[in-house]
Chains A and B, each alone.
Chain A
Amino acid sequence: MNKIVLFIAVLFLFSTQVQAKTDVYGKGVSIAEKTPVSAILDDPDAYIGKPVRVEGMILEVCSKRGCWVYLAGDRQGEKIQVKVVDGEIVFPMSASGRMAVVEGVVEELKMSRQEMIKYMQHLAEEKGQPFDPATVKDERMIRLKGIGAQIEG
């Protein structure tokens, strides 16, 4: 019985040590060529449905489920949302401000202006930040469906 208890203890310690060393999420990143966020946002139709690798600083993390992050673009003030399936990848709150490499498929979210305002308002409320509906101009949201990520520790 003592041997069984010892085995379980070693197994537990090993599993937590493996986790502590890794900064890879989901399936990781396999695409070598980087696509600038600006290129995706400038011509989204050329990228929709295609897998890309983007790099940038993580500006915001979904605080409830860790199911999305906003990645800073290469042009000042630009950012792109990376949405992952709940539970499949969970971004920790500590990821904000870290540099990340993300692989995902470019997707388009089409909404009416009302729906877009509601969605953006929800995101702002979640972050406790002010929101001005007048800033919502586009009715399509270009984002990445995240497959994997590497986040600098």
Chain B
Amino acid sequence: MKWRKFNIAIHRDLGYLCFGLTILYVISGIAVNHIQDWNPTYALEKRVDAIDLGGLDLFDDRAVTTAVLAQLGESGELKNIYRQDASILKIFVVDNNLTVDLDNARVFQEKSNKRPLLYEANFLHLNHAKKLWTWFADLYAFCLGVLAASGILILKGRKGLAGRGKWLVGAGLVIPLFFLWLYC
């Protein structure tokens, strides 16, 4: 039949078109699925260092900041400084937040680095971009629906939907229903 030939062509070309984004979403999907166990977007490094604040006016935020950054070898761009109270000074550098404990001459650092590929994959998958990407992602989701529907209609006969296909489609529907019954 003519429509089956057309269906195969649609399935084939949409498959090619959706391949890249599907792989990206697979990577992001697995990464985000385990968000309880790790940070899928940023690699965080937390550390505490002792520093020497001797000879410094501890109320001079600029002077303390310059000394702390120099001692730690932190050369990132300074974003801001915040004096929380008499003993805590927060220094914000690009990709690094430093909390200076002036009473104990210690610095807590929280460095964050974007995970290569995963940051970008999650950015798209979780739709942080919003705007035009939302529509593009909707279109992609629609294409996945077409891929699924056209896929089950490719073959006819014993291996088609009328044959074992119906059992596999049924199983694919029952599995999520089972987990809904189990956990909801």
Contact = CB atoms under 8 A, between A and B. Distances in A.
Nearest to A26: B130
Interface string B17-39: 00000000000000000010001
B74 interface: no
B39 A77 contact: no
A97 B79 contact: yes
Interface residues of A, number: 29
A87 to B, nearest CB: 6
A15 B133 contact: yes
Given A11-B136, A19-B129, A65-B35, A97 B110 contact: no
Contact of A76 (B42, B85, B136): B85
A135 B97 CA distance: 23
A97 B80 contact: yes
A65 B40 CA distance: 9
Contacts of A96: 79, 92, 97
Interface in A58-82: 59-60, 63-65, 72, 76-77
Interface in B82-101: 82-85, 90, 92-95, 97, 99
Contact of B46 (A98, A99, A128): A128
Contacts of A90: 126, 128
A72 to B, nearest CB: 6
A112 interface: no
A2 interface: no
Given A93-B42, A97-B80, A128-B110, A15 B95 contact: no
B42 A63 contact: yes
Interface in A29-44: none
Interface string A1-44: 00000000001101110110010000000000000000000000
9 contacts: A18-B131, A19-B129, A19-B130, A60-B97, A63-B39, A63-B44, A87-B126, A98-B79, A98-B80
